[in-house]
Amino acid sequence: MRRYAALLRRPGLARWSAVRLLTRFPAAAAPIMFVLLSKTRLGDYRTGAWMAAGCVAAECVAAPVLGARLDRRPMLAETRAALAVTAAALIAVAAGVRALPAPALVALAALAGGAISGLIGGLRTLLTRALPAGEVRTGLAWESSLTDLTFAAAPALVTGLALGVDGRLPPLLAAGGALLALPLLPAIPGIRAVPAPAAPDPRGPARPLLAAWPIYLTSAAAMYLSATIEVALSPLLEQHHLDIAWTGVLLSAFAVASIAGGLVYGLRSWPGSHRAQSLALLAAMTALVALAAAGARTGLPLVAVPLVAAGAAQAGLVTARNLSLHHALPARHHSAGNSVMYAASCLGYGSSATVIAVFLTPGRATALVLLSCLLTLGTAAAGAAAERLAPADHPVTTR
């Protein structure tokens, strides 16, 4: 772990880590936060579900646009504005949940998610700019583990506050985190820098971003599988007469394994290109999830063991994917590219949740999980094949 200790001793990196945690919490908490706010304050889930959907949809649309802005402007002012808008929208949601009509609440939730979405790519770009080339892998593995930590802790924290105290507390907590990040921003390395003007690309300004589409496809496929795990696990246990109370334990174990796997991945170099590593880890994760689904009929251990192993593979997959994009794009497109990849992840997650919600019926959970595994493998294979056949004038560069 000396690599991570050395990373955090770099000027501004501890504050960058704090800002990353504070700015990831709203995205990690949003779906369950809005659903429980609606349930506890309005008495139904419908408005909260629409708020969660509006938040995710706004993230998908706004992330590439705002990420591209961060490639062209000093990030300090843009980041301050994003955090302030998100905090204001979340405070308005909490304060007006009973007074405002449902469309206004959905619009505010969308504003909160959309405003902060560009920071996913922007903060990652600042991290990679601040590190020597040999430490970028460790830095991105650290970022992946911070993200996994946030997504592991947020649901339990939100549920405890919403059901145990008040449904308005989680959005207020998320808003407070955004405001708390504001004074930490100026110490982040490179956040005041003025990006060098980019030379015009004769093929068009979006061509370099579009050329990396196989990497975005891998990201969407990975999140499609992750959503399958989260949404279908409880029905899968129920189908095979296992106690659904184990769902939370298994998902927490998956998240903890992902944190550990990400840290291990960042400690050394691994054979093959980053693109090959991401594909191999995605295939391993898919096989393990399929094994968990097939093993549910024999008992809980054959669900738990492969699922935890899949969690460990997921974090390495995310870091390898981020490294692939880092090397595939010119530096002037890093924030936009990371934001496009985030949008692709949102689309992958949302499409999986939608498919399962539409087609899941009693007794079909295993079949749907296995089908999701096949779709994930097919999507990844199609992206890999298309990359090999890409014309030589705009290849996707990987290391």
399 vs 388: CA distance, rounded Å: 14
More confident residue, 64 or 206: 64
pLDDT at 398: 45
Residue 366 and residue 296 in contact, taking contact as beta carbons nearer than 8 Å: yes
| CA dihedral sign of residues 383, 386, 387, 393 | negative
261 pLDDT exceeds 90?
no
More confident residue, 248 or 153: 153
Tens of pLDDT, residues 24-44: 888 888 878 888 898 888 888
174 vs 197: CA distance, rounded Å: 35
Q: Please state the rounded mean pLDDT for residues 133-137.
A: 85
What domains are defined for the chain?
2-136+165-187 (no CATH), 207-388 (1.20.1250.20)
381 pLDDT exceeds 60?
yes
205 pLDDT exceeds 60?
no
Q: Beta-carbon neighbour count of residue 374 at 10 Å?
A: 11
Tens of pLDDT, residues 65-92: 888 888 888 889 999 999 999 999 999 9
pLDDT at 203: 54
Comparing 55-64, 133-142, 245-254, 355-364, which segment has the lowest mean pLDDT?
355-364
pLDDT at 206: 65
186 pLDDT exceeds 70?
yes
More confident residue, 164 or 359: 164
pLDDT above 90 coverage of the chain, percent: 24
305 token code pair: 């063991």
Confidence of residue 397 (pLDDT cuts 50, 70, 90): very low
More confident residue, 376 or 227: 376
Could you identify the residue written with the tokens 């469309």?
A: 103
Average pLDDT score over the chain: 85
Using DSSP, state whether 369 is helix, strand or coil.
Answer: helix
316 pLDDT exceeds 60?
yes
371 vs 157: CA distance, rounded Å: 32
Using DSSP, state whether 206 is helix, strand or coil.
Answer: coil
Instruction: Tell me which residue of 29, 256, 24, 25 sits closest to 162, measured CA to CA.
Output: 29
Indicate left, alpha or beta for 204 from its phi (over 0: left) and psi (-120 to 50: alpha): left
Element at 178 (helix H, strand E): helix 169-181
Helices (H) and strands (E) in the chain, counts: 14, 0
Confidence of residue 362 (pLDDT cuts 50, 70, 90): low
Distances (CA, A) of 114 to 18, 101, 291, 335, 345: 21, 20, 37, 15, 15
Could you identify the residue written with the tokens 């956040």?
A: 191
Residue 87 and residue 175 in contact, taking contact as beta carbons nearer than 8 Å: yes
Comparing 48-57, 65-74, 106-115, 190-199, which segment has the lowest mean pLDDT?
190-199
Instruction: Tell me which residue of 64, 141, 328, 336 sits closest to 218, measured CA to CA.
Output: 328
3-state helix, strand, coil in the chain (%, to 5): 80, 0, 20
Could you identify the residue written with the tokens 């903890």?
A: 256
Could you identify the residue written with the tokens 């909490």?
A: 94
Instruction: Tell me which residue of 251, 236, 230, 224 sits closest to 352, measured CA to CA.
Output: 224
pLDDT at 147: 87
338 pLDDT exceeds 80?
yes
Q: Beta-carbon neighbour count of residue 61 at 10 Å?
A: 16
Q: Please state the rounded mean pLDDT for residues 395-399.
A: 47
Confidence of residue 222 (pLDDT cuts 50, 70, 90): confident
275 pLDDT exceeds 50?
yes
363 vs 50: CA distance, rounded Å: 28
275 vs 97: CA distance, rounded Å: 45
142 vs 150: CA distance, rounded Å: 12
